[in-house]
Amino acid sequence: MFDYHGFDEGYNIDSLEDIGMIEFWNIRDEDVCHFHFSDVNIAFEFYNRYARTKSFSARKNRTRKSHAGALKLKNFVCHREGFKPQNNYGIGNLKRKHTPETRCGCSAMMEIRVDAPSGRWFISYFSDKHNHPLLDPRLTGLLPGHRFMFEADIGHMVNMKKAKQRRQLPGDAYEALKYLEDQATNDPSLYFNHHMDADGTLRNLFWCDGLSRANYSLFGDVLAFDATYRKNKYMCPLVVFFGVNHHNQTIIFAAALICDEEKDTYRWLLQQLKVAMNGKAPVSVITDGDLSMKFTIEKEFPNAHHRLCAWHLIRNATSNIGKPLFTSMFKNCMLGDYEIDVFRQKWFEMVEGFGIENKNWVLDMHKKRHSWATAHIRGKFFAGFRTTSRCEGLNSIIAKYVNSRYNLVEFIQHFNPCVDHIRWKEVQADLASVNGRPSMQTCFQQLKRSAANVYTLSIFHMFQPILVRAASMKVINMRQTGSYVIYSVGLDRMPNEMWRVFCCDIEMEFNCLCMRMESFGIPCEHIVCVLVHEDIEELPRSLVLPRWTKTAKVGLQNAVGLHWDSLMLSQYSCLMDWFRQLANFACRDNERFIFTREMAMNLLKQFKEEDAAQKELVNDADSVRDGVQVDAFGAGLATNDLGYSMPRDPRKYRTKGGLHSLIKENIDVDSVVWRATIEQLVVFVVASHSQKAMEMTHLIMTRMIT
């Protein structure tokens, strides 16, 4: 038992402010044991802050009390301590999807005891040995123990909501371009461009940030785009370019506001997309069949496979033929996994059976069969896209952030949080994929475990039914042909339906005639059956498409605009807590307010100048943002340095089918200005990783409070 007088005064932790002064990233294990605390809650906050810096989360565990019922011991453990209860394991008829197992018996722990004479809590045992990989720092904040808002952030949001006013813009089009230019200072990889009429009226505006461009470099093999309406006060159609990420989630590559949906407009958009994405063209494109889009895709992406939306085709079949039985048969022809000869036979039998072989719509559909029939599309990679229904879902999300009263600047300002929301879903999926492992309850345990190690959780769940189907198949015969082995795979009850799988023993490459591996990037049940037959317990590298793996975005973890690591988050929370207190004291007295404001503005100016000087030393060879011109149709395309005359606002668009003024309540405007300045200052201080900056801001806070 320690005596209170034996405690080192330099290790006293009595408040959250004391915790905020600790540099957890520099603490050694032996240093941790010297700290002592005023109560249990402060001790837990200390350990949880430490855990956040080390990329794990803490939770409270065992408690021991004295005979009198007083608390005398408390354990804090890693969030992966212990094991999941084994109850109900082995039940195969559960409809609920099994959650990943996050508990793995980790022994990392901090134990505290109370010193009876002083009432201080000291660390009696500490271990930082984990039996599992620690999380990527960008995912730590998603753990339940760290997923909360700080009081400073909540207060800032409340005050800004009260003081929010609609700005009077001198020129909406000009201000939108100026806003994007300002955004580019924080995101050097942001690309935008616009197109004006001969009289200077803004026609089209295209933009994408650095992270969207980085995502396109990884997942731009499949592209979909569509126009949606009534999203701004000019009723200009919004065109969103999107695809799917390694979790099979929708991600946005770029966006544009256009004046019309003519061929030239879409061609300008695709030209801008190619410039922004460094000339990379997609492998496949899916649209709703709009003729202008089709013409543009053929001109700008001549080698891309163009697929028509299945949902729109089924709707057109209903409206053009008007017979439910025909619609059902047409759907089977379109989506059925047939050989081309079988498809041709079924098509003509269907058409002749209904006596519509001379109908224009039927003739047109047969002519376009290479763009919609699975039999003809087989082997072309579409990442599971069959319809543009993802676009409809994306539009419903966008509608929650923007509305028809927004001008251009307001639209872009509210559209960006929508993109952030979609990216937040991706980060949550990243955490679910690495924090724990799926339960193994089906056949082929080793092969399933191998898939779980490489695939993201959502892709692994898509692979599980394939394993189940493979269990009902067997290799009927096999023969050697040169360096290839040809396997015939089928069901016992259907011996006439077989699929052939080709295997190259030397390079461990597998190909099946069903071509589902080429179409989606996941091995089919026929290939899995061959793997089981040959006792292969690990997925060969040739069968693992990198875009579906957990490591698909390893090279982009530091991309601009998305993630902060645990150190920055810890510093940010400390500074925001200090500045919240500082703001409360400074805004009560005019002299204090002026002094604090000047100090904050000077620091902010200094940090901005330092950052600007560092950026000048970096060679932005990749950036295509400065001075890009694409003179597609002889109309003026201005560069992005705002060296052009003020463009006119776009004309109101007639579709195919403003922000509410808020009343200011009782709030000090100076306080709002101060908080906005402080928020910028905190970002620069944290990003600088400068101990001097931290000390200067702490000095200001101490002076004002005292």
User: Rounded to the nearest 5 degrees, what angle is found at the Cα of 250, between the Cα atoms of 246 and 254?
Assistant: 110
One-letter amino acid identity for 407?
N
Residues 6+ apart with CB under 8 A from 660: 405
Mean per-residue pLDDT pooled into runs of 10, the chain (706 residues): 56 82 81 89 91 88 87 92 70 60 89 89 91 83 77 66 48 87 88 89 92 93 84 82 93 92 92 94 90 90 91 88 91 88 92 90 91 89 82 84 87 91 89 79 80 92 90 89 89 78 87 90 93 91 93 67 51 73 83 85 84 66 40 35 63 50 37 52 54 58 51
pLDDT at 160: 61
578/17 Cα distance (integer angstroms): 8
What pLDDT was estimated at residue 43?
92
pTM: 0.71
C-alpha to C-alpha distances, 311 to 31, 190, 517, 558, nearest whole angstrom: 63, 34, 24, 38
Asked if residue 454 lies in contact with residue 549, where contact means CB atoms within 8 angstroms, the answer is yes
* pLDDT at res. 635: 33
301-306, long-range: CB < 8 A, 24+ apart: 301/270, 304/223, 305/377, 305/380, 305/381, 305/382, 306/371
Q: What is the pLDDT of residue 672?
A: 45
As a whole number of angstroms, the distance between CA 267 and CA 633 comes to 10
| Maximal CA-CA distance, the chain | 100
Strands of the sheet with 238-244, listed across from one edge: 191-196, 202-208, 250-257, 238-244, 222-228, 284-287, 305-308
- The encoded tokens of residue 486 equal 């040809």
What is the CA angle 55-58-61, rounded to 5?
A: 155
Tell me the residue length of the chain. 706
Please tell me the predicted confidence (pLDDT) of residue 591.
84
Edge-to-edge order in the sheet of strand 12-13: 12-13, 36-37, 120-127, 109-115, 71-78, 58-65
pLDDT at 214: 92
